[in-house]
Every structure is written in C-alpha cells, then in structure tokens.
Amino acid sequence: MRGFALTVFLTAAPVAHAFQPAPPANAVGSVEGRVIEAHSGDPAKPVRKALVIVRHGQEPGAGAYSDEKGNYRLQVEPGAYTVTVDRDGYVAGPQSETKTVTVIAGQTTSDVDLELVRTGVVSGRIVDADGEPMPRASVQLRSVRETRGGPFHGAVTDDRGEYRIFQVPPGKYHLSAAYQPAFQQREIKLQTPDGKAEESYATTFYPGTPDLAQASALDVPAGADLTGIDLQVQRQHAVRIRGRVSGMQAAPLPIVIVALQPAGSQLGAARDAVLRSPSGEFELNGVLPGKYVLSANAPDITNRGAGASAQQTLVVGQSDLEGIQLTLAAPQTVSGRVVVPEGRNIPQGLLVLLSNRERVNRQAGGLSQIGSDGAFTVAAVPAGDYDIALGSAGPGDDLYVSAIRRGDDDVLAKGLRVNGPSAEPIEIVLKPNGGTVEVVARTPKGDPLPEASVALLPDAPRREQKALYGACMTDARGVCALQGVAPGDYHAFAAPKDAGLDFYDPDSTKDLEKQAKAVKVAEGDHQTVEIDVALEER
C-alpha cells in the first residue's frame, strides 16, 4: 500500500488568481456568494478583502477577493470544486472549511456563502519557582487534539516575563511554558554548595503541572482576548548523563555535537554540547526523567553536513547515567531491490522512503526512485533506526509489501538499523492481488468532507510495520481510495485537513479511535468505509 509517505514531500499547486484571462463565456460557469463574519448578528457583518479560492482536486485554483459588501464572483470551467476562504485575523468556520460546489457550463451557482470566525488572543506572565519573571521563556498554545508533532501557536516572554499569543483560532488548548537556564545553554557544570540534588525547570502546563494528563484546557472563544493567563514554571529533580564519543580523530572538523532530544510525542527540553577534546568525553546536565534519543554528529562542511554520526535511545530515571558510549560511523549507502511477481513490471513512479523511527530528525533518511530492474540506492544515511515504506508518484495498483529483509533481519517488523557500512542489500518483496479500501469522509451533518486526511493503519501486532500504512486525501466528494492493501486487520482514520496529526505517532491518533472504523481486508477485496468526522466547534 502506497501514498502515505509522499505527503511529506508533495505540496499543493499554487493558486491562480481571478485576474488571469478568463476562458470563453460559453465554456465556463460561475460561482458567487458572500463572505460574512460568523456570530456577528442579524444582518451578518460582511468581510471585505477575504480571498476566496476554488480548486478542482490538486489542480491549480482560481481566486478572487471579496468587496466591501463581502461579495465575490469567480468564473471556472465545469466540474466539482472545493471552495475555501482566507483572511488575516480570521479562520474559516467549520462548514466553510468543507464547502463543495458543482459548476455547470453557462450557469451560475449562487449563494455560496462563506463564514469567517475571528481569532483570539491569549496573554499573561511566566514566573519561576521563586515568583520572579522569566525572560526568554518559550510559551506554546497547542490544541488538545494535537501532539508534539502538530502545529502550535507560540511566543517568547519579554524582560518582564510577559507573553502575547495572537491569531489563535477558537478552540480548546493546552498552554505550556519551558525555560532553559543560562548555565545549561553555555555548557557550564553547575555546583551546588548546599549539596542538594540538581534540579531543572520542567515543561509546565497550565495551571501549573509538569504532567500533561493533569493540565487544564483553555477555552478560547471567537474574538476572545484572554488576559492574565499566568503560569509558574516548576522545578524537578534532574540528573546528569556522562559518556564518551569514540572515533573523533576521524571527524572532518575538530568538533562533535552531542544532542539529547525527547523521543516520540514526549514534550520536554533538549540538551546539547559541543565537544572539542579528542577524548570525546561529554556531560549533559539538568536532564529530567523520560525517554530520549542521544546522538553525536561530526559536521562535514565539504559534504553538506553529512558527516559521521551515532545514535541510541535512552530511558532516564532518577539516577545519573554514566559510561554511555557513542561510536561515530560514516553515513551509510542503503541499497536494495524490489522483487515483483513473475510477469509483472515495477510500477511506474515507485519510490522508497527511509524515515527516522523515533521521529526526532525529520530530515534523516532519504528518498530514492526505484529503477525498472527494481534496484534502488539511498545515499548518505546517518546512523539511526529507520522505517522503510514505498510511495508512488504514479497510478496505484494491486501490489502490496509482503516482506522486507536484510539478510536474516526482518526489517518490516523491526525496522532498519543503520550503524556504519554494510554490504548486505535490502530486499522488498511485493505480492499481487492486494485489497482496495475506499474511504468516504463526511461531516456530522452528512455533507462531504473534502481535503480530509485519511489513514489506514494496521492493527496490533502489525501497527509498527510502517510499510503497511496507507494514506490519501479526499476529493470534492469526500472520497479517496487506497489500493494494494496487504491482507489483514486495520482501522481507518479521517481528520480535517488542519488537524496537524502525525499518523506515525500513536498519541496523535488516540483521540480519534472512537471515530475510526475497523476494516478486515482479504486478497482482491474491495470495500467502502464511511467515517463521520467531528469538526471542532468555532
């Protein structure tokens, strides 16, 4: 099953605005309506200078601005279109996010009215455990339905510890603040004369807890100006991590960067240190309990940064960690072959993608075109753990991933470990007669939901096998189809286009489990699944 991984690399086509030459009148139809401010009374307040865009699938769209009365008009060729609207200081209302029209030649589709909702502001003050203002603290406002991988609204406090976050869409949010003391930023080993255990500032959630599960959600109504949302950042027991990086003598430059980043969807502060000594010894201070990815990288400016590296996962508890070893290894060339059934050709536009398994480095890995003989090569892959998936830039087919092997290693189930040169190629085996799953996404009112993000995820124990994932985006009818689905049990998920979900992250999808639909796929099966997608009220 293919198509999911490519969403990282492909972007929507640019909008072609209405001042471009119009096609002949007898070959086009018209769309017209009014842009109004939601919840502004009767009569509704018009919104001027709003950009209205009509788009057919992923093709270039046409756009026009609303006038002083909120009116707009567009001429386009016949077909099914999605209609969207955008304006600074506003976001589209739930129904306007999913508006679809069918344009008929020589006719006008009128009264396609669009609603905009005013955004809000959240402001307050961040103080430390002693009640003093915290300059340069990072403040984030993240929707309760999103995880670390999703978008957020943020600000940095000023010298009085004050922050102001604007252009906030209506909804429920978690507010958090994080701070890294100067001694940690400067790699200073802090001494504590009183002999107390080292402490560090934890990411703290409103109204004042380091535990996201205990946080209170902020309700931001349309046009709200929430002031006085203050937060005191908490201190927690912290530990030190000491170790050594070997192989520094072979580094192109006399420095190595050691970095510690929270793994998965965990929110927390990263730590890093620059090593200049040939001994390679490092120490990271103020580390809070949790799961992390520890990495070492030797920059290579002559090779565009693809220098030697090392990586491992650490679980930090209440005690210092000593004797951590990282061994630098040069970037690896990952090669292999895709094997198709006898008599079948490699599908046109087939690609192989390597993505970092812990999701801490979205740039690591790589993408490679698969040749007509099935061979592929991904160059300069840094050390780390990776998932392998296939994507297609061409039409889909019935082939699905049956196995991914490297020697005796089951890469499909366990992932790919990259740690220095390896002569063993990867073999990706495709089988025919995969299933097809068509997903229909609808709003709670039963209307089609265009541009919804759809994902088909295998059930346990195959949930970690990313090559079996599939994803697509619905068209103007709220429909998209996934071909080449491996037989087995799945759940189909759907979410609005702005949900900011990372389907690789289980924390990102747990709130959608109730809406997800179970799907059992057999060879050659074709089935349709309908999903009612909850839209956030505005």
Residues 196 and 207 in one domain: yes
For residue 5, tell me if it sits in a domain.
no
CA dist 469 and 475 (Å) reads 20
Domain containing 141 equals 120-237
Q: Is the pLDDT assigned to residue 186 strictly greater than 60?
A: no
Q: Is the pLDDT assigned to residue 8 strictly greater than 50?
A: no
Q: What is the pLDDT of residues 284-294, one digit of tens each?
A: 888 888 889 89
**pLDDT computed for residue 39 by the predictor:** 80
- Per-residue pLDDT, averaged over 465-492, amounts to 92
How is 48-90 classified by DSSP, letter by letter? -S-EEEEE-TTS-EEEEE--TTSEEEEEE-SEEEEEEEE-TTE
Q: What is the pLDDT of residues 392-429, one digit of tens each?
A: 766 678 999 999 999 989 999 999 988 866 668 999 99
Most confidently predicted of 55-59, 66-70, 207-211, 463-467: 66-70
Which residue from 505, 331, 494 is spatially nearest to 418, judged by alpha carbons?
331
Banded model confidence at residue 26, pLDDT cuts 50, 70, 90: low
Number of compact structural domains in the chain? 5
**pLDDT computed for residue 7 by the predictor:** 35
**pLDDT computed for residue 489 by the predictor:** 96
CA dist 267 and 356 (Å) reads 18
For residue 4, tell me if it sits in a domain.
no
Please report the beta strands in 247-383, taking only residues with DSSP state E, as ranges in sequence order: 256-262, 271-275, 281-287, 290-297, 309-316, 321-327, 332-339, 350-356, 365-369, 375-381
Locate 478 and state its tokens.
């709220």
Mean pLDDT of the chain: 84
**pLDDT computed for residue 20 by the predictor:** 46
**pLDDT computed for residue 51 by the predictor:** 95
Residues 156 and 190 in one domain: yes
**pLDDT computed for residue 157 by the predictor:** 96
CA dist 414 and 65 (Å) reads 52
For residue 253, tell me if it sits in a domain.
yes
**pLDDT computed for residue 268 by the predictor:** 65
Locate 194 and state its tokens.
């009183």
Out of 381, 401, 431, pick the residue that ends a domain.
Answer: 431
Residue 35, domain CATH: 2.60.40.10
For residue 271, tell me if it sits in a domain.
yes
- Per-residue pLDDT, averaged over 164-186, amounts to 82
Out of 307, 327, 347, pick the residue that ends a domain.
Answer: 327
Q: Of the ranges 150-164, 185-199, 505-519, which one carries the lowest mean pLDDT score?
A: 185-199
Residues 46 and 100 in one domain: yes
| Sequence-ordered list of residues with C-beta below 8 angstroms from that of 504, at least 6 positions apart, any chain | 355, 359, 387, 466, 469
Out of 408, 431, 454, pick the residue that ends a domain.
Answer: 431
Q: Of the ranges 86-90, 261-265, 406-410, which one carries the lowest mean pLDDT score?
A: 261-265
Residues 101 and 34 in one domain: yes
